[in-house]
Chains A and B, each alone.
Chain A
Amino acid sequence: MAEFTPQNRTLISSAALARPRGKRIYWTVLTVVIVVFTLVFVGPLYWMITSGFKSVHEVVQNPPTLFPHDPQPSNYHTAWTQLKLAKLLWNTFYYAFGALAFQLVFDVTAAYALSKLRPVLGNVVLGAMLATLMIPSAVLIIPQYMTVLDLPLLHVNLINHPWAIWLPTVANGFNIFLLKRFFDSIPNDLMAAAAIDGAGPTRTLLSIVLPMSRPILGVVSIFAVVNVWKDFLWPMLVEPDPTKQPINIGINSLSQGVPENVLIAALAISALPTLLIFLLFQRNIMSGLTAGSLKG
């Protein structure tokens, strides 16, 4: 037990692995797992990227080729211009970061008020916000769509407007839950000290609460961006104008009549931004996932 702490003790003991037979089995299993997992999870992505370089004939050739015989980078260029990927990517980016900004401003201030300012009936508001977690989102699609068509009181139609994507993302009970739970863990003595120094609630939020909340803000931000990037049905309904569609809907509606290799190149381009975000922030994303989603 030299190299493993008791917490690391799992199904199979280190002592069993240290025996010659255990060692042999362990290394075989490890090799098989690495090879199989690489094939299963990276294989399709490798196929996607290389097929983007192949000719139409080579894409469907049997048996499939491992490397493109005659690489055609022009496929990527055609995909970029023909499917108007620059526009689609920009739209997605605009929706995702707009949604992030709205969520950071409205959900953070709301969770702060519910956790630290605690107004009259605050718990009722909190309960009503958390209750929305119980309602399956697909059920609300139709009435939400009707609301967006004709906003109550204001009578504005938000179809084809980015607000139709941004504003509903604020109504996220899970954000309120995560943020409020984190703010609850900030000691009230700190708040009191700030108040004695003459800081109002806004000042306290900006100078004390926010700098301490960087981990949770990171988790909320990443999921805010990724959720918009991955959403499909809602943006398809509220952004019918082809020049305003995000990448998921745009590529799908333009996919008919595009040669296979060009469409695959377009898919590869569409996958790139989120894969890059993931590789850059993988630690935050994976730890945020395990910290956050269990207590949904």
Chain B
Amino acid sequence: MAATTVPDKTTRRHAGRGTAGPKAAGGRGGLSRKLTHNLQAYGFLIGAIICFGLFSWYPMVREFIMSFQQTKRGVTSWVGFHNIKTVYHDPYFWTAWKNTGLFTLYALVIGFAVPFLVAILLNELRHARAYLRVLVYLPVMLPPVAGALLFKYFYNPEYGLFNRILKFFHLPTSQWLDSSHTALISVVIAATWMSMGSATLIYLAALQNIPGELYEAADLDGAGLWSKIWHVTIPQTRLVLSLMLLLQIVATMQEFTNVFLMAGGNGPENSTMTVVYMVYQYGYRYNNFGGAAALGLFLLLVLVGFSGLYARLNRNSD
């Protein structure tokens, strides 16, 4: 054994205590060897630790501190619950939460159900599977500016492609992004088009893991198509479905890019203003970073529950 010790499963457990085996020869040599080993290991870790420290761990602590501080003309002072009260009494506080909630709800109805149904359909086809999979995933690879501005054109009430197609078939047209009634759902439809590929492929992989015997047994019991979906497909993919559900809630409640690019953030009559857009406004329009942090704290409180549930389910799935 040379100076470098690579602990394996048996020695690792004793590594803290100066140990058994061939390495125990010479107490002081063992200690300095362990010290070198640890120093070396932390040498490997140092880059990541610095980056996590600067851009994850410290900001996490700072998020709490900033929520209770106010900076005016370069002087930072503690203001207690002032920031939290300010954002809570902001006339748009509940508007933003209502929009974020609605966005998440629409995204669940459209963005959660559609990929699952598409995956079930694709899983039944015996031909062109690779082609269809590539198609569904294609929009995921678009840069957001291309996808969002493209849909902004399609949605244009005067010359947009959607209204032209509707007119061609003599169907009623819509104001899409220009009306406070349809703006939010228009953004959700575009966002679903852009992102449904990932969910579809994940569901497809889960569907392929369902043992075929289960379907055969269901056939023998005389089960129809729907009862097979209800009693075999859904129970067998329940874990993946619930994980994706939580993941999607956490992601859609942080919506910013699409409302910003397609509806200019607020949308008509503030109908697309989400919580994260409001955070952005507080920070970069009103220059009130304390208020922005306080609003972020509200979001954190709501979302951490969902992420915690996700982490728990994910651990159980191992």
A: which residues have CB within 8 A of B? Answer: 6-13, 17, 26, 29-30, 33-34, 37-38, 40-42, 44-45, 47-48, 59-60, 62-64, 102, 105-107, 109-110, 112-114, 116-120, 122, 125, 128-129, 132-147, 151-152, 167-168, 170-171, 173, 176, 188-189, 191-192, 194-196, 198-201, 204-205, 226, 229-230, 232-233, 237, 247-249, 251-252, 255, 260, 263-264, 267-268, 270-271, 274-275, 277-279, 282, 285-286, 289-290, 293-296
Contact = CB atoms under 8 A, between A and B. Distances in A.
B1 A195 contact: yes
A151 B54 contact: yes
Interface in B116-146: 120-128, 131-139, 141-146
Nearest to A188: B8
Binding site secondary structure of chain A? helix
Interface of B: 1-2, 4-9, 12, 15-16, 37-38, 40-42, 44-45, 47-49, 51-52, 54-60, 62-63, 66, 120-128, 131-139, 141-146, 149-151, 153-154, 158-159, 161, 164, 167-168, 193, 198, 201-202, 204-205, 207-208, 210-213, 215-216, 219, 225, 228-229, 233, 240, 243, 247, 250, 253-254, 256-257, 260-261, 276, 279-280, 283-284, 289, 292-293, 296-297, 299-300, 303-304, 307-308, 310-311, 314, 317-318
Name the residue among B58, B121, B212 with the largest chain A CB count within 10 angstroms.
B212
Given A138-B296, A270-B145, A289-B201, A132 B54 contact: no
Contact of A277 (B4, B141, B318): B141
A138 to B, nearest CB: 4
Nearest to A275: B141
B194 to A, nearest CB: 10
A41 B136 contact: yes
B195 to A, nearest CB: 10
B279 A142 contact: yes
Nearest to B38: A119
A172 to B, nearest CB: 9
A114 to B, nearest CB: 7
A192 B5 CA distance: 8
User: Interface on chain B toward A: helix, strand, loop, or mixed SS?
Assistant: helix
Contact of A232 (B193, B250, B257): B257
A135 B54 CA distance: 15
A204 B62 contact: no
Nearest to A175: B48
